[in-house]
């Protein structure tokens, strides 16, 4: 199939945003009748590349050829007329219309007296049949379908639009195994009809199940294009994170610190879980210990953290805190029990943009006291002074609205907000994402200091090296479940974690067992 | 009227008001074939004592004993749309006669045509419609607003032989009653050069608003107003309070005339606070019953039937009338 | 900003930057228009028994109920909500007090009891709003719309559909009496507004409400108890509307179930917007809401004073308010500023300060 001419050829694509080079001479080839997966960590440039192809972003350098013709894509309309169609995670269909009307929207069959609805629905039925969705009744209201099937309808719609290239950006993130299989059936039948499919997913198993070829991006650069049969999981992961296997192996495992295995755990949960977010999981956290959560995006890292904090309500599980059984169902309850959680979504779930640095800092402490017991100005000033200087927040003007600070300083203020509540357990979800190197190092160092002072820290990062460096113990998650728990200082490295993730689900139970054994020793 | 009855009625009014549409829509089987005549009453609902007396009187007239089933549908918050909806469902349901007291004069053509097509006679009660197309309804039964307001003006002319500055408290702009009451009053008072109109404002039939308006109007005219014409009793009573608060004596410094003739107004007249009350007789249930019987029998009726109204020009007259006052 | 302060001119600039500045300007302009019609407009005389009398006093009195509902609305709006039920709560409050006083003796005790009853009933209505919004999770617009419609029905049930009148000197005094020569009703409104201001700014209520209104998700993760706060704020709004209902009915000692408080929720929302609180929620300004309420009362009184004809009244009010909103709009203000500052370069606020 790759012997034919590529339908899309992107070469030397560069896109810069103020201060950042998002894409640096990246290339991508899509052939008719293939499923091509775009791989890369967060921030590697996947979505920027997709937006360049769909005409959302203008390219600074490089060339896009479609069916051999150089094309300038000035907007999404250009891309659509060139036969490039996108199905987003958030399905945008009209739920109040019928399935058929949605499939045919804008391409209704017209007769002498306007739209011929019967013919339109018949045509919709044929399209659905071609994609193995013949069981759907085109006259049924779309709203009656589960979200996953609605997504399939959205895909069928791009068939009607006669698209040559279909982009599926994380289509499986909210689907269960059955629904994924249904989706793959549709994708395969589209592929067999000669459509080129660009697929983005963080689930390695799915990538290996559906892809013919893949392109890896890292830090906005092209890392390589491979046939799926030519690259194994470990190689793929090392390409994504940019360390080759040998280098990963040579990384020294650092000395074990701080762990006091005999001590009673500060926090322990048995079978804590929530449907669709994370399977029932056991987890123990000790004072003075940094526990890392490692795993690819969508593996359930954040979901687990949110359950511990009560940001989402657990369906199952028992929680023991300081030896006492307890229930943590809301963030307010967690804070009252001295658990703090810094969300990965700093902008929407962390800072409150229009409040000042001071107000953002004292918010959680104040919330815990209740509105009727305002924090005296003197104590507010003390908190502000303590954390602004301890964390090096710049500029050190507490009355400035926090939105005017840089990302790194916003993150420091948030860290201060949580520390001001004097937590015993601090959960940090991606505390260093998207901030500059200097602030990142400062925050990492501060986390170590906190653990030395006896705090229990749960540390989440998509940078596996960072997790390894920070953590005394690492819990590895994959596909919404815990697959391993590794003690630090026993030869644990980014490599061994990658191996665990890569080998899980290969049917190679022995590797898994070996790791588990390692944990128990 | 016993308190219990009143409460029951009140609950009835609100719930019926809300449910009228639903009930009306479901009541498809309530034709006139079982010997009972069904009357749909598209009413105004709670608006004041006058309306209360009027609608209670209608309801008390078209009783089951008299062989009628009256479906009472008051407007929600005086909203015309709710009236049109109720009207339409009465037509769909096929009642025998529709009685209509429109909250607003305009915008009834389509609804009335529908009733005509369904051969349902419509009788207007109190409020007229605009444009006044007499082909669209059988008759309008009402006291004559023009006649009543002319009576007020006639009184004003005789009460102020040396002339006076006067102010008019109007109902909401655009309502036919307001237009008619202005028309009758202006025809006489406007022809009298000694009566000087210093202004007119709406107080939306409300005591509270009337008080606020008069308070300001007295100031803007340096208290140089001798006569206030309030187009309903409630506004007149608000004017009384504003005049008192300005340090003037109602009935002496400022004479206030009102239309409607409710018990509260006659009490104020007896106390000398109001100077003239023209009744706008709400009790025309009997007349309506008479007309409905004629219409159902196929007899011709006049396209406009005037209900006679009285006037009260002295505390004594008010005292005589008070014991029998129904509203 | 503090570095280049230049005394009074900077203070004036500070005032100009306040959102409600244009509200104050509008009040001044309306007063000026009245003054042109009657040079004695602003005169305040000492009437009988030493009370102040005059158009300005009338405006203050008319503003009192609007001030109360505007302050309540301001708090609700800051959480990103809206309370459409205030007008109906006023009617219910009026109905409850009139029906109670109608059967009670004319004593101070029964007057106060009526007020107490109003507080209980209006708090209950506010609580229903609060439950619908915070526990059931209905949109504030819908929840309060329900109470807006049901409330007026309730008022009608309470009075039996009639406009009930009562006599009670104490109750009447609330709206018509004077203390230190000033109308009680305005002093009470101001006092309640001040108390609310102190309550929200001296406690952490204001900060919490703003946090919810600005970013509900982040506020929740910071442990802010959204449910309890919304509940509190709708109850406060209800009670303030109840007081406004007392003011409105005590003025004439009559409740008009279809007219008392009719469409006043719109006046309250307008007052809040004029006062510089965004309907999107977040930062709120109680002083601004009070200014807005006084502006609306001034506008109402001006319409009558000028003798604008009844049919033209809505248009006149609309024009004034549209102009005011235009003046407040950031975009329009920026246009003005650019024109004024042509040449004199103004240092722009930098969105991001490097770490």
Q: Are residues A150 and A76 in the same domain?
A: yes
d(CA A23, CA A10) in angstroms, rounded, equals: 12
Query: Is the distance from CB of A501 to CB of A476 less than 8 angstroms?
Result: yes
Q: Is 90 exceeded by the pLDDT of residue B237?
A: yes
Of the candidates A227, A247, A267, which is a domain's last residue? Answer: A247
ipTM of the complex: 0.80
Tell whether A3 is covered by a domain. no
Shortest CB distance from A438 goes to which of C229, C352, C355?
C355
Q: Is 80 exceeded by the pLDDT of residue B117?
A: yes
Shortest CB distance from C304 goes to which of B45, B173, B217?
B217
**pLDDT at position C350, please?**
38
**pLDDT at position B31, please?**
42
Share of chain B above pLDDT 90, in %: 50
pLDDT tens for A316-354 read: 999 999 989 999 999 999 999 999 999 988 888 899 989
CB contacts, 8 Å: A375 with chain C? 204
Q: In which domain, by residue range, is C88 found?
A: 65-304
- Residue found under tokens 């028309």: B183
Distance from CA of B120 to the nearest CA of C (A): 30
Task: Look at A501-515, B31-45, C238-252, C276-290 and tell me which has the smallest mean pLDDT.
Answer: A501-515
Query: Is the distance from CB of C310 to CB of B204 less than 8 angstroms?
Result: no
Q: Are residues A59 and A176 in the same domain?
A: yes
**Tokens linked to C174:** 């609330």
d(CA A89, CA A179) in angstroms, rounded, equals: 14
**pLDDT at position A106, please?**
77
Tell whether A1 is covered by a domain. no
CB contact A367 to C (< 8 Å): yes
Q: Which CATH class is domain B145-280+312-324?
A: alpha beta
Q: Is 80 exceeded by the pLDDT of residue A513?
A: no
Tell whether C278 is covered by a domain. yes
Are the beta carbons of B234 and C254 separated by less than 8 Å? yes
Are the beta carbons of A405 and C352 separated by less than 8 Å? yes
Are the beta carbons of C221 and A439 separated by less than 8 Å? no
Are the beta carbons of C203 and A436 separated by less than 8 Å? no
**Tokens linked to C290:** 């009070």
Q: DSSP character for A347?
A: I
The segments of chain C whose pLDDT lies below 50 read: 1-5, 343-355
**pLDDT at position A519, please?**
40
pLDDT, mean of residues A459-464? 86
B39 contacts: CB under 8 Å, gap ≥ 6: B62, B68, B69, B70, B71, B95, B96, B97, B98, B99, B292
d(CA C158, CA C43) in angstroms, rounded, equals: 42
- Residue, of A492 and B264, whose pLDDT is higher: B264
CATH code for the domain of A315: 3.40.50.300
Q: Is 90 exceeded by the pLDDT of residue A447?
A: no
d(CA A429, CA A306) in angstroms, rounded, equals: 9
The continuous run of DSSP H or E covering C100 comes out as helix C86-103
Q: How many structural domains is chain A composed of?
A: 3
Q: In which domain, by residue range, is A489 found?
A: 258-338+424-521
Q: Name the 3-class secondary structure at B225.
A: coil
Shortest CB distance from B241 goes to which of C249, C252, C256?
C252
Shortest CB distance from B211 goes to which of C55, C159, C252?
C252
Q: Which residues face C254 on adjacent strands? A: C165
CB contact A350 to C (< 8 Å): yes
**Tokens linked to C85:** 């039920």
**pLDDT at position C315, please?**
85
Are the beta carbons of A404 and C211 separated by less than 8 Å? no
For residue A62, which of A169, A220, A177 has the smallest C-alpha distance?
A220
Shortest CB distance from B216 goes to which of C156, C163, C305?
C305
Strands A8-17, A61-66: pairing is antiparallel
Q: Are residues A309 and A365 in the same domain?
A: no
What average pLDDT is seen over chain A? 83
Q: How many structural domains is chain C composed of?
A: 1
For residue A209, which of A195, A190, A193, A228 has the smallest C-alpha distance?
A228
Tell whether A270 is covered by a domain. yes
Tell whether C296 is covered by a domain. yes
Distance from CA of A369 to the nearest CA of C (A): 9
pLDDT tens for C284-340 read: 999 999 999 999 999 999 989 988 887 787 788 788 878 877 877 777 767 766 666
What average pLDDT is seen over chain B? 85
d(CA B124, CA B138) in angstroms, rounded, equals: 8
Are the beta carbons of B9 and C160 separated by less than 8 Å? yes
Q: Is 50 exceeded by the pLDDT of residue B17?
A: no
**pLDDT at position A3, please?**
54
**pLDDT at position C123, please?**
97
Strands A473-478, A290-294: pairing is parallel
d(CA C96, CA B65) in angstroms, rounded, equals: 36
Size of interface B-C (CB pairs under 8 A): 112
CB contacts, 8 Å: B201 with chain C? 304, 307, 310
Q: At what angle do helices C264-274 and C21-37 cross, to 10 degrees?
A: 110
d(CA B274, CA A520) in angstroms, rounded, equals: 99
**pLDDT at position A255, please?**
42
Query: Is the distance from CB of A249 to CB of A279 less than 8 angstroms?
Result: no
Shortest CB distance from A355 goes to which of C205, C211, C349?
C211
- Residue, of A177 and C92, whose pLDDT is higher: C92
Distance from CA of C61 to the nearest CA of B (A): 10
Query: Is the distance from CB of B311 to CB of B149 less than 8 angstroms?
Result: no
pLDDT-based confidence at residue B26 (cuts at 50, 70, 90)? very low
- Residue, of A130 and B121, whose pLDDT is higher: B121
Tell whether C51 is covered by a domain. no
Of the candidates A216, A247, A278, which is a domain's last residue? Answer: A247
Are the beta carbons of C55 and B234 separated by less than 8 Å? no
Q: Is 70 exceeded by the pLDDT of residue A165?
A: yes
d(CA A448, CA A459) in angstroms, rounded, equals: 11
d(CA A78, CA A71) in angstroms, rounded, equals: 9
How many Cβ atoms sit within 10 Å of the Cβ of residue C195? 11
Using alpha carbons, list the distances in angstroms from residue B196 to B171, B226, C108, C232.
20, 10, 44, 55
d(CA A101, CA A120) in angstroms, rounded, equals: 8
Question: Hey, which bits of B45-109 come out as E strands?
Answer: 68-74, 97-100
d(CA A337, CA A309) in angstroms, rounded, equals: 10
Nearest-by-CA chain C residue for B218: C305
pLDDT tens for A125-159 read: 888 887 778 888 888 888 787 777 888 888 888 77
- Residue, of A202 and B316, whose pLDDT is higher: B316
Using alpha carbons, list the distances in angstroms from residue C19 to A119, B277, C24, C26, C104.
59, 50, 10, 12, 47
pLDDT tens for A262-301 read: 578 899 999 999 988 899 999 999 988 899 998 877 788 8
Q: Which residues face A353 on adjacent strands? A: none
Are the beta carbons of B247 and C48 separated by less than 8 Å? yes
B3-137 and B145-280+312-324 have identical folds: yes
Query: Is the distance from CB of A149 to CB of A141 less than 8 angstroms?
Result: no
d(CA C320, CA A239) in angstroms, rounded, equals: 66
Tell whether A252 is covered by a domain. no
Distance from CA of C206 to the nearest CA of A (A): 8
Query: Is the distance from CB of A429 to CB of A341 less than 8 angstroms?
Result: yes
Question: Hey, which bits of chain B come out as E strands?
Answer: 37-43, 68-74, 97-100, 122-125, 139-143, 164-170, 195-202, 227-230, 255-260, 276-279, 304-307, 311-312
CB contacts, 8 Å: A20 with chain C? none
Interface test with B, best of C102, C160, C166, C253 (most B CBs within 10 A): C160
**Tokens linked to A270:** 């048995």
Q: Are residues A39 and A96 in the same domain?
A: yes
d(CA C194, CA C188) in angstroms, rounded, equals: 10
Share of chain A above pLDDT 90, in %: 31
Tell whether C221 is covered by a domain. yes
Interface test with C, best of A302, A363, A401 (most C CBs within 10 A): A363
Q: Are residues A293 and A330 in the same domain?
A: yes
Task: Look at A174-183, A375-384, A444-453, A471-480 and tell me which has the smallest mean pLDDT.
Answer: A174-183
Query: Is the distance from CB of C75 to CB of C140 less than 8 angstroms?
Result: no
Distance from CA of A362 to the nearest CA of C (A): 10
- Residue, of A506 and B103, whose pLDDT is higher: B103
CB contacts, 8 Å: C62 with chain B? 212
Fold for the domain defined by B3-137:
Rossmann fold (3.40.50)
pLDDT, mean of residues A492-499? 80
Biggest alpha carbon distance in chain C? Answer: 72
For residue A12, which of A66, A52, A64 has the smallest C-alpha distance?
A64
d(CA B57, CA B52) in angstroms, rounded, equals: 8
């Amino acid at each position: 199939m790759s012997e034919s001419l590529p339908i899309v050829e992107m070469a030397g694509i560069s896109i810069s945003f103020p201060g950042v080079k998002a894409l640096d001479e990246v290339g991508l080839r899509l052939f008719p009748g293939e499923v091509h997966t775009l791989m890369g960590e967060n921030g590697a440039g996947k979505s920027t590349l997709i937006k360049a192809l769909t005409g959302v972003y203008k390219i600074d350098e490089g060339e896009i050829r479609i069916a051999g013709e150089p094309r300038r894509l000035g907007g999404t309309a250009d891309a659509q007329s060139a036969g490039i169609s996108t199905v987003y995670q958030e399905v945008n269909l009209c739920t109040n219309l019928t399935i058929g009307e949605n499939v045919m929207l804008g391409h209704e069959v017209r007769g002498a007296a306007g739209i011929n609805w019967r013919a339109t629905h018949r045509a919709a039925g044929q399209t659905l049949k071609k994609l193995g969705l013949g069981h759907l009744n085109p006259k049924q209201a779309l709203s009656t379908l589960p979200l996953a099937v609605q997504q399939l309808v959205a895909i069928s719609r791009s068939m009607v639009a006669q698209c040559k290239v279909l982009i599926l950006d994380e289509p499986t993130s909210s689907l269960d195994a059955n629904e994924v299989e249904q989706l793959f059936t549709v994708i395969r039948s589209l592929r067999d009809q000669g459509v080129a499919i660009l697929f983005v997913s963080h689930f390695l198993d799915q990538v290996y199940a559906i892809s013919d070829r893949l392109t890896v991006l890292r830090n906005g650069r092209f890392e390589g294009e491979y046939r799926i049969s030519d690259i194994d999981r470990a190689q793929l992961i090392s390409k994504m994170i940019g360390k080759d296997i040998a280098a990963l192996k040579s990384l020294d495992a650092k000395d074990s610190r701080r762990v006091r295995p005999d001590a009673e755990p500060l926090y322990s949960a048995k079978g804590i879980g929530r449907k669709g977010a994370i399977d029932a999981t056991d987890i123990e956290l000790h004072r003075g210990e940094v526990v890392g959560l490692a795993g690819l995006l969508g593996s359930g890292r954040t979901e687990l953290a949110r359950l511990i904090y009560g940001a989402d309500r657990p369906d199952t599980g028992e929680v023991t805190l300081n030896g006492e059984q307890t229930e943590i169902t809301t963030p307010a309850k967690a804070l009252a029990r001295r658990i703090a959680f810094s969300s990965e979504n700093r902008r929407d779930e962390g800072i409150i943009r229009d409040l000042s640095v001071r107000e953002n800092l004292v918010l959680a402490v104040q919330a815990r006291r209740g509105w009727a017991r305002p924090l005296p100005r003197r104590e507010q000033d003390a908190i502000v002074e303590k954390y602004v200087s301890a964390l090096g927040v710049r500029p050190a003007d507490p009355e400035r609205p926090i939105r005017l600070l840089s990302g790194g300083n916003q993150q420091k203020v948030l860290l201060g907000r949580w520390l001001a509540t004097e937590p015993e357990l601090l959960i940090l979800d991606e505390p260093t994402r998207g901030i500059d190197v200097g602030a990142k190092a400062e925050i990492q160092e501060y986390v170590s200091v906190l653990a030395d002072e006896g705090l229990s820290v749960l540390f989440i990062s998509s940078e596996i090296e960072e997790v390894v460096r920070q953590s005394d113990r690492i819990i590895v998650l994959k596909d919404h479940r815990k697959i391993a728990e590794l003690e630090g200082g026993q030869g644990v490295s980014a490599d061994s974690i990658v191996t665990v993730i890569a080998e899980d689900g290969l049917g190679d139970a022995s590797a898994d067992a070996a790791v588990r054994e390692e944990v128990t020793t | 009227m016993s308190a219990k009855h009143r409460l029951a009625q009140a609950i009835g009014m609100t719930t019926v008001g809300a449910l009228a549409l639903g009930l009306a829509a479901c009541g498809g089987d309530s034709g006139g074939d079982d010997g009972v005549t069904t009357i749909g009453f598209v009413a105004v609902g709670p608006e004041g004592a006058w309306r209360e007396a009027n609608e209670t009187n209608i309801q008390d007239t078209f009783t089951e004993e008299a062989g009628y089933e009256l479906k009472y549908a008051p407007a929600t918050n005086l909203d015309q749309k709710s009236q049109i909806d109720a009207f339409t469902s009465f037509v769909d349901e096929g009642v025998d006669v529709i009685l209509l007291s429109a909250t607003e004069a305009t915008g009834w053509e389509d609804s009335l045509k529908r009733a005509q097509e369904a051969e349902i006679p419509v009788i207007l009660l109190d409020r007229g419609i605009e444009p006044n197309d007499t082909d669209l309804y059988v008759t309008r039964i009402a006291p004559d607003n023009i006649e009543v307001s002319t009576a007020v003006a006639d009184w004003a002319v005789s009460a102020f032989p040396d002339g006076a500055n006067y102010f008019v408290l109007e109902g909401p702009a655009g309502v036919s009653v307001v237009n008619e009451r202005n028309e009758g009053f202006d025809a006489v008072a406007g022809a009298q050069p000694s009566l000087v109109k210093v202004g007119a404002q709406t107080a939306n039939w409300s005591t509270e608003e009337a008080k606020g308006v008069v308070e300001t109007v007295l100031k803007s005219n340096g208290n140089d107003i001798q006569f206030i014409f309030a187009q309903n009793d409630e506004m007149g009573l608000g004017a009384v309070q504003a005049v008192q608060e300005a340090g003037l004596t109602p009935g002496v410094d400022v004479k206030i005339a009102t239309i409607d003739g409710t018990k509260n107004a006659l009490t104020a007249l007896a106390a000398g606070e109001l100077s003239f009350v023209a009744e706008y007789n709400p009790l025309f249930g009997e007349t309506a019953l008479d007309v409905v019987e004629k219409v159902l029998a196929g007899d011709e009726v006049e396209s406009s039937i005037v209900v006679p109204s009285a006037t009260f020009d002295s505390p004594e007259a008010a005292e005589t009338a008070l014991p029998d006052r129904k509203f | 900003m503090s570095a280049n302060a230049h005394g009074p001119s900077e203070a004036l600039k500070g005032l100009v930057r306040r959102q409600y500045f244009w509200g104050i300007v509008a009040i001044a302009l309306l007063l000026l228009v009245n003054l042109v019609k009657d040079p004695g407009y602003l005169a305040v005389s000492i009437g009988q028994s030493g009370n102040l009398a005059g158009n300005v006093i009338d405006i203050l009195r008319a503003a009192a109920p609007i001030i109360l509902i505007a302050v309540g609305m301001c708090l609700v709006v800051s959480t990103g909500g809206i309370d459409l039920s205030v007008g109906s709560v006023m009617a219910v409050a009026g109905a409850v007090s009139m029906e109670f006083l109608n059967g009670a003796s004319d004593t101070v005790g029964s007057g106060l009891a009526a007020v107490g009853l109003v507080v209980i009933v209006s708090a209950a209505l506010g609580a229903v709003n609060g439950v619908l919004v915070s526990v059931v999770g209905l949109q504030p617009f819908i929840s309060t719309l329900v109470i807006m419609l049901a409330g007026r029905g309730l008022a009608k049930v309470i009075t039996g559909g009639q406009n009930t009148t009562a006599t009670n000197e104490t109750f009447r005094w609330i709206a018509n009496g004077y203390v230190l020569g000033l109308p009680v009703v305005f002093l009470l409104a101001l006092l309640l507004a001040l108390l609310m201001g102190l309550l929200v700014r001296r406690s952490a209520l204001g900060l919490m409400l703003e946090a919810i209104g600005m970013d509900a998700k982040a506020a929740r993760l910071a442990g802010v108890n959204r449910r309890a706060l919304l509940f509190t704020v709708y109850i406060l709004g209800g009670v303030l509307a109840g007081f406004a209902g007392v003011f409105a009915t005590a003025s004439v000692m009559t409740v008009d179930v279809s007219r008392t408080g009719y469409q006043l929720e719109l006046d309250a929302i307008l007052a809040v917007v004029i006062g510089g609180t965004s309907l999107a929620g977040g930062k709120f300004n109680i002083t601004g809401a009070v200014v807005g309420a006084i502006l609306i009362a001034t506008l109402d009184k001006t319409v009558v004073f000028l003798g604008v004809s009844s049919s033209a009244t809505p248009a006149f009010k609309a024009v004034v308010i549209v102009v005011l909103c235009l003046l407040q709009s950031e975009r329009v203000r920026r246009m003005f500023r650019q024109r004024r500052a042509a040449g004199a370069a103004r240092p722009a606020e930098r969105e991001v300060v490097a770490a």
